[in-house]
Structure 1
């Protein structure tokens, strides 16, 4: 217990001014109004969905052919086993795409006439695979490479090669943009301190570039999560091929919905993380700009 000296007055609690009290009351009224409007609009949208979608004759057919719970549960184990193969291709491709893309981006940012051939090769690579549809790359890799080598290659290896060739071109351009967005004074200061080119790139440039390009890199990762489902073209029994087999056996499209839901659940955490990180960067950059 604190004993106050005789004659000392107890400090009065802080009380906001009338202007600040008015501002707080206005914020509370606006917050309550926003919640009520959001609840009312949600009820209206729900009523419209029920009236024009659920309460129609075609909804029963949609449920029968696309949303059959029994078929969904029966096909889920095989689709899940195929989905694990998609995850394996994705996990390996994340590493290979990152390595190849960083190499290509470094080639494109090299200065000096001696590196002109490397810059041309890197630019041609990105132009080629950014312009070529991914499904064509899959056919060329999945059919062309085994035909040329006359060997049997596992579909997972072919899938990783196709994903790496395509997405490393996109990611390389994102990385190049991030590297070039770092102010030249950062490089000059690092070189003045005695750092070499590689040390400057690894310790100074890349850390700043990664912070700038993280949101677009995450978007490319989401796109890659979806496209790994196309490895079924190579003969792999992944989630899409397992859903196709189940649909052909049941004459029902519910297995495709099951496979689609698995891919959506895989993408949602990355999408939410991208939104959170983008908002965090925006708040950091705009700190102090709002009065």
Structure 2
């Protein structure tokens, strides 16, 4: 009976896969026919899907994408550190820590509510405008600072949710073993909190991958700005499509990693 069940499940799985494949092909064919039969399709194809324009713009866009990747890696590391710090400050207990909690809460409220593009303008043009000694004027550095400030507020709330999801009995057990607050957070709370919020954390970093392209508004020659320059010289929008596809290819592995982490967490919790 067990073999029959397994054979039935395999047959159902093969049939479901075949149906999904056929339906996908039919949908793609209908969508392709609907787009290509439009009266303006030849003009759109020439303006947005020109192979020659894509080949000419590819080296510059790839060089700009490498800048986006470097900004992403550095910002991710800084956001993780700052996010954990702010989350830990928000979870401090006792009236003596109220000013610290209020400061951390105000930081989160400010940068979660402030649109990223406005923060980029404020940091990118406001800080150099002060003309203080030591203030950088590099658009890449200033754009990275704005990204870290905004995304650390989101990541701090993700970490705080994970910290508060740890059952109070875990804290009581750690205190009964003689651990102070700092060691309890480091040994008991944070390892459990990080495992629980990993899918949400990865989703935030997928969003960060896209938003790294916004540093182009400050003049940094990343993939978006390289596409803009190529489009302005060729009077063709294909470089924008090329840059968008490269960003999608960069984000897909992270998205699949986030899905895998969510499924793994669900299996560990007995939900799947």
When the two structures are superposed, what TM-score results if normalisation uses the length of structure 2?
0.94
- 1:256 aligned residue: 240
Bigger Cα Rg? 1
| Per-residue deviation, residues 31-86 of structure 1 (Å, max 9, x unmatched) | 34313322331232133123212343333222211111111111111111111221
In structure 2, the CA distance between the partners of 1:84 and 1:39, relative to structure 1 (3 Å rule), is: closer
Equivalent of 1:70 in 52, 61, 67 = 52
The reply on whether 1:57 has 2:39 as its aligned counterpart is yes
Equivalent of 2:108 in 122, 126, 145 = 126
Query: How do 1:1-291 residues align onto structure 2 when only pairs under 5 Å count?
Result: 19-150=1-132, 153-286=137-270
| Per-residue deviation, residues 11-50 of structure 1 (Å, max 9, x unmatched) | xxxxxxxx43543443244234313322331232133123
Q: What are structure 2's unaligned runs of at least 5 residues?
A: none
Cα offset for 1:193? 0.9
The worse-fitting range, judged by mean Cα deviation, of 167-176 and 33-42 is 33-42
Partner Cα distance (2:247, 2:32) in 1: 27
| Per-residue deviation, residues 126-185 of structure 1 (Å, max 9, x unmatched) | 001100100000010011100113555211210111011100100000000000100111
Partner Cα distance (1:78, 1:86) in 2: 13
| Per-residue deviation, residues 70-118 of structure 1 (Å, max 9, x unmatched) | 1111111111111122122111111111111111111100000000000
The worse-fitting range, judged by mean Cα deviation, of 46-55 and 214-223 is 46-55
Q: How many residues align?
A: 270
SS in 2 for 1:43: helix
In structure 2, the CA distance between the partners of 1:24 and 1:82, relative to structure 1 (3 Å rule), is: closer
Partner Cα distance (1:217, 1:208) in 2: 14
Q: Does the aligned pair in 1 maintain the 2:136–2:142 contact within 8 Å? A: no
When the two structures are superposed, what TM-score results if normalisation uses the length of structure 1?
0.88
Cα offset for 1:200? 0.8
Partner Cα distance (2:47, 2:70) in 1: 30
Partner Cα distance (2:108, 2:126) in 1: 21
Partner Cα distance (2:185, 2:81) in 1: 15
SS in 2 for 1:149: coil
Cα offset for 1:218? 0.4
The worse-fitting range, judged by mean Cα deviation, of 63-72 and 146-155 is 146-155
Partner Cα distance (1:79, 1:168) in 2: 28
Partner Cα distance (2:67, 2:2) in 1: 59
